Structure 1
Amino acid sequence: MFRHRLRVSGQPDLPDPHPAARTPLSSHGHTTMHIAVIGMGLLGRAVAERLHDQGHAVTVYNRTAAKTEPLRARGLAVAPSPSDALAAADCALLFLTDAAAIRSVLFEATPPEALRNRTIIQMGTISPEESQALLASVTKAGGDYCEAPVLGSIAEALAGSLLVMAGGTQDQFDHWNPVFRSLSSAPTLIGTVGQAATLKLALNHLIAAELTAFASSLGLIQRSGVSVDHFMAILKTSALFAPAFEKKLPRLLTRQYDNPNFPTTHLLKDVNLFAGEARHRGLPVTSVESLRSILEDTIARGYGEADYSALFETMNPKD
């Protein structure tokens, strides 16, 4: 399944994933692979750049083609369709918005034969049930599927310090480790398909919960005239501190939420997914519903595409 790739007739002149003279190791000391990255959002683009810089042959595809032009200028191959991207690759990494977008690209815009003998690695945030359904659909089409959602954003992707959480078999994890190792110093096999997706939802729930609590506490500090420096100094020496607090503090103090690392709309989508999974597992979701309301209010204020730290505008609105 991993090594035998089929050509789809009528494809453009994209890189051959198995040229006769292929160099097995890149200058970075790992196996060179031909990788398609599908979805050129903030994280997908950064991952494509990182893999290219690590010596892999990268082909990118995005439904809005204009987003691929900066990568073409950097020397990455640009595919005109998902089928072309798959034909050029050992594996395809998905960084699409949600499961509906994945199905649209892989199954509505792509003929079934394009998935045959291809490996799909889902790296975005979707529910475990959605990931398991994709496993069934890709397998039915003759392909191979695993998940590897990541924690981290643009800076971590470019530095190769993402936290990669794989869901699949040990053989899949071992085979695609050169890809994972290009993005993370310590990729981890979490379990079967669906388990890594669950872990990612749990972590993204904490993103919303922690920053909401921090924003509320900071608002109280500011409105009470307590020194923010004193607040942060005490917080940083306590067990309460989370690095995200210090990272987001400049945005909150200046109320500048442009150039997002993670848009508010995406965080709301993930909180909704977490709520659904928690409810399915018999957990109370009262606190999650509060987070959802805060994010919806923030989006209603016009901050949907801004960095999610804009939830500060809901927790501590201007007088």
Structure 2
Amino acid sequence: MTATRVAVLGLGIMGAGMVRALCAAGHPVTVYNRTRAKAEALSEFGAVAADSPAKAVSGAEVVLLSLADEAAVEEVLFGQLVGCLAPEQAIVDTSTVSPEFAREAAERLAAQGLRRVEACVVGNPQMAAGGALRVFIAGELHSSEPAHEVLDTLSQSIVHLGSAGRASSLKLAFNLLLGVQTAGLAEAVLLAEASGIDRNVLLEALDTSGWRSPVLSFRSRFMRERSYRPAGFRSTLMHKDLLLAQQEAAAHDTALPVTECAADRFRAAIETGHGDDDAAVVVDA
């Protein structure tokens, strides 16, 4: 595989994991994060920390974004980067945003002669670091481009869904399931405990039964230990994605009552100070 020069902006647990995978594959990687310590911590894997977004993307063939929300994409991509980017640089955006925002972002960049590759990733931090994410992409992307080489490094599978916004729609559907299942697992634990059954008994029984799933097993580890940091997926982000799913459903006159109830559980966790904890904290919040 060709060594592609990559700039990564946004070094949360998923962004940092992707940097590790890119470095391990031999790609020269420059990184930027508002909290510089997060960028410097990746130097042991071969990444070079930049002092600003503009310096990070200078000379990069692929600019990979892994940002928390639409406000962050607006600030970093449109507020700081657009004037620094060239048409030959591929913008690969892995941030989870609404389909509407994804479409608008593609149109705004196209008006500047730039192209956004919508690349929604599914997986956990360990999968990101191991190059084993599942990637949904939308927008125009040719297999020979450096962007595709980068995505190949990060993924075990890539599904191209067509026009802008479609990858974001599918990602929200996945995160809807994650949120609902996590809230459901929390209520199963609460029911067992209310009946005098230790949560570890329930969680072990589930993990060796037909109800077992990688998603539930990942969340149940947090619940067993009653320790929710560092988070695999913060409660604030879970709540944000459930709201985005409801917003998208409303645009198509579709009701999501179960999702609404799950979103309320995560909202309550945030309001009691657990926004930065893993979403599994909903069992104890």
Q: Which amino acid aligns with 2:100?
A: E
Distance 2:68 2:196 in 1: 41
1:172-212 Cα distance to aligned partner (Å, 9 max, x none) = x5523321121112222122221111000000011110011
SS in 2 for 1:219: helix
In the alignment, is residue 206 of structure 1 matched against residue 162 of structure 2?
no
> Which one has a bigger Cα radius of gyration?
1
Deviation at 1:114, TM superposition (A): 2.6
CA distance in 2, matches of 1:165, 1:174: 18
Partners in 2 of 1:286 and 1:272 — Cα distance? 12
1:86 and 2:46 aligned:
no
What is the DSSP-based 3-state SS (H/G/I as helix, E as strand, rest coil) of the residue aligned with 2:81? coil
For the 8 Å contact 1:83–1:111, the answer to whether it is kept is: no
- Distance in 1 (CA, whole Å) between partners of 2:206 and 2:81 is 55
Q: Contact 1:221–1:231 at 8 Å: present in 2 too?
A: no
Aligned to 1:17: none
TM-score normalized by structure 1? 0.83
User: What is the match of residue 48 of structure 2?
Assistant: 77
Residues 265-301 of structure 1, C-alpha deviations (whole Å, 9 max, x = no match): 1111111111100111111132222112100111122
Of 257, 263, 280, the match for 1:309? 280
RMSD: 1.9
- With over 3 angstroms needed to count, the CA separation of the structure-2 counterparts of 1:221 and 1:148, relative to structure 1, is same
**Partner of residue 237 from structure 1, selected from 205, 209, 212:** 209
1:66, CA displacement in angstroms? 2.6
On the 8 A contact 1:167/1:196 being kept in 2, the answer is: yes
SS in 1 for 2:95: coil
Q: Is the 8 A contact 1:98 1:126 kept in 2?
A: yes
Measured after TM superposition, the shift of residue 73 of structure 1 is 4.3
Match of 1:101 among 53, 72, 77: 72
Shift of 1:111: 5.2
For residues 253 and 71 of structure 1, the distance between their equivalents in structure 2, rounded to whole angstroms, comes to: 30
Q: Does residue 220 of the first structure (1) align with residue 220 of the second (2)?
A: no
Amino acid at match of 2:209: T
* Deviation at residue 230 of structure 1 after TM alignment: 6.5
Q: How much has 1:236 moved relative to structure 2?
A: 4.1
Give the letter for the 1:89 counterpart.
A
Query: d(CA) in 2 for partners of 1:309 and 1:78?
Result: 32
Give the equivalent residue in structure 2 for 1:14.
none
Q: Measure, in 2, the Cα distance between the counterparts of 1:178 and 1:291.
A: 37
Partner Cα distance (1:235, 1:42) in 2: 25
Residues 1:154 and 2:125 aligned together: yes
State yes or no: 1:65 paired with 2:36: yes
Question: 1:275 aligned to 246, 258, 264, which one?
Answer: 246
Tell me, in whole angstroms, the C-alpha distance in 2 between the residues paired with 1:214 and 1:230: 10
Q: Percent identity?
A: 29
Per the normalisation by structure 2, the TM-score is: 0.92
1:121 to 87, 92, 114: 92
Describe the superposition over 1:221-246 as per-residue Cα deviations: whole angstroms up to 9, x where unpaired: 222234754674467433x4322222
| Pick aligned residue for 1:188 from 141, 152, 159 | 159
Residues 117 and 142, structure 1, Cα contact 8 Å, conserved in 2: no
AA matched with 2:251: H
Q: Cα gap change, 1:304/1:113 in structure 2, threshold over 3 Å: closer, same or farther? A: closer
**Residue 113 of structure 2: aligned partner:** 142
Q: 1:231 to 1:251 in 2, by over 3 A?
A: closer
Number of residue pairs matched? 283
Q: Which moved more, 1:73-82 or 1:262-271?
A: 73-82
Deviations 1:84-127 (A, max 9, x none): 22222111111011122112112222352534432111112101
2-structure distance, mates of 1:62, 1:254: 30
**Residue 257 of structure 2 is aligned with which of 286, 297, 305?**
286
Q: Distance in 2 between matches of 1:260 and 1:234?
A: 22
* Structure 1 position 130, deviation (Å): 0.6
CA contact (8 A) 1:113 1:141 kept: no
1:40 to 11, 24, 30: 11
User: How far apart are the structure 2 equivalents of 1:234 and 1:103?
Assistant: 42
- Amino acid paired to 2:62: C
Offset at residue 250 of structure 1 (A) = 3.0
Query: Structure 2 regions of 5+ residues with no counterpart?
Result: none
Aligned to 1:8: none
